[in-house]
Amino acid sequence: MNRFEFAQAMLLDGEAVVIKHESVKLYDGHEKTLFEDGEAVLTTHRIFWGKAGEFSRGSHIIQLHHRHVKALDEEMGSSMFFGKKKRLVIRLHDPYPDKAPGPMEYSAATFIKLSGPSGISSNFIQALNETLMARVWQINLQVSSPSSPPRIKPRSGIGGIEKGLIEKHRQTDENLSMAFQDLNKLIGMAKEIVQTSKNISIKIRERQTDASEDETLKFKTLLMSLGIDDPVTKENFTNNNEYLRSLGNEICQSLLDVITEQGGMMTITEVYCRINRARGLELVSPEDVLDACKLLNGPMKLRQYPSGALILQLDNHNDEQVAEEVEQQVKEVNSMSIEECARLQHISVLLAHERFLIAERAGKVCRDESVEGLRFYPNLFLTQ
């Protein structure tokens, strides 16, 4: 990122826009930056990056001269909603001494990456390859070198005015054509978004049999929060412990809200299923998930209960509070089975069983095993 410079979005003489790409975020090597959800504009001389509309308004944004580019590579990532996506890797020369100030003065990385929700389009990558091969910026530098005499535009009266008007009309036509090309791309993206929303709506309707509006809204919220845009992978780490710690942070960020809604507990099996569903095609092994959870030190931790069950729970989880909640639920209905508790709390049977065991060890409930199965009752031996 220390090859980028601050610049005003204005084209030089002989410079032309080649292609634009929406929703682009920049990486400094493998590290994420604050430059997200912007517009990348490829010209014959530079790559501009700014927020949507800033280039068209001539605002001050950042630029990367093509002379800094050494080579291009591609790598594949994944996203839950968009599947496989393509990232553009731009390998860079060392900064030139005459480089203007930019957003970052020092960086150890020798490359940057361009990515987005659905990756970088093949058209943009192909256009950049062809632009670098053409080296138009070098030709313009040679033409405008100090040894070349300055060009003087002749004035030829009415004929010159007419030629100027014709040239202005031609430039306007080119700008309109480019605008309509961008509009067609926007329409194409809108069609994909509409189709995706239809698919999600169908899934919601299939689930919604007897669901209330609150449950449907909750399901939509969970559906939108499942995806991990840039999952942690082993290839980006040389140290296994660093990889596991990063994976643990990803698990914590992705599941914190869900675990909180479930009463502060989630089985390690459900953690494994949810994190892999959120990662899309970048799956992780059960061993990596287990080892990553063991390294967590806040705001959640892995705990093994006396029954042997491995539970990922919040740091502020309190067994006494769980026991009181279970006691209150059982008192309201006089008796309760594990399956009934699981349905009531929207949790797994294993978690419901552990909650009853916590309450039983605290003396809040007592069990009754019969031919009808296992049921728990309020513990009247301690109160009467």
pLDDT for res 150: 45
Residue 332 lies in a domain: yes
| CB atoms near residue 178 (< 10 Å) | 14
Q: Which amino acid is at 321?
A: Q
Domain end call among 269, 296, 314: 314
How high does pLDDT run on average in the chain?
A: 81
> Strands of 310-314's sheet, edge to edge?
265-267, 310-314, 300-304
Question: Per the structure, how many domains does the chain have?
Answer: 3
pLDDT tens per residue, range 92-109: 999 888 888 999 988 889
pTM of the model: 0.41
pLDDT tens per residue, range 193-203: 556 656 666 66
The domain in which residue 255 lies consists of 231-314
pLDDT for res 125: 92
Residue 190 lies in a domain: no
Tokens of 144: 């405008």
Q: Residue 253's closest CA among 302, 311, 300? A: 300
pLDDT for res 72: 92
Same-domain pairing of 287 and 340: no
Domain end call among 143, 162, 194: 143
Same-domain pairing of 302 and 358: no
Report the run of H or E that residue 255 belongs to, with start and end.
helix 240-261
Cβ-contact 20, 115 below 8 angstroms? no
Distance CA 111, CA 90 (A): 5
Report the run of H or E that residue 99 belongs to, with start and end.
none
Cβ-contact 10, 58 below 8 angstroms? yes
Same-domain pairing of 104 and 39: yes
Q: Which amino acid is at 120?
A: I
Residue 134 lies in a domain: yes
Same-domain pairing of 376 and 264: no
Same-domain pairing of 24 and 113: yes
Burial of 193 (0-12, 13-18, 19+ CB in 10 A): exposed
The DSSP call for residue 100 is P
Tokens of 131: 């632009």
Residue 213 lies in a domain: no
Instruction: Supply the CATH number for residue 278's domain.
Output: 1.10.10.10
**Residue segments in the chain with a per-residue pLDDT below the cut of 70:** 78-83, 140-162, 169, 173, 175-230, 384
Residue 299 lies in a domain: yes
**Pairs from 326-335 (Cβ < 8 Å, separation ≥ 24):** 326/355, 326/356, 326/358, 326/359, 326/364, 326/365, 326/376, 327/359, 327/364, 327/365, 327/378, 327/379, 330/359, 330/365, 330/376, 330/377, 330/378, 331/378, 334/377, 334/378, 335/368, 335/375, 335/376, 335/377
pLDDT for res 118: 85
Same-domain pairing of 290 and 349: no
pLDDT for res 22: 93
Residue 139 lies in a domain: yes
Q: How far is CA 79 from CA 129, 229, 231, in A?
A: 26, 5, 8
Cβ-contact 51, 39 below 8 angstroms? yes
Instruction: Supply the CATH number for residue 48's domain.
Output: 2.30.29.30
Tell the residue number behind the tokens 């580019």, with chain if given.
69
Same-domain pairing of 81 and 37: yes
pLDDT for res 259: 86
Same-domain pairing of 362 and 291: no
Same-domain pairing of 258 and 366: no
Q: Residue 312's closest CA among 361, 356, 347? A: 347
Q: How far is CA 379 from CA 76, 334, 346, in A?
A: 58, 11, 25
pLDDT for res 229: 59
Residue 347 lies in a domain: yes
Residue 123 lies in a domain: yes
Same-domain pairing of 302 and 237: yes
pLDDT for res 203: 65
Same-domain pairing of 123 and 18: yes
Domain end call among 143, 170, 194: 143
Same-domain pairing of 332 and 263: no
Provide the 3-class DSSP secondary structure of residue 48.
Answer: strand
pLDDT for res 178: 65
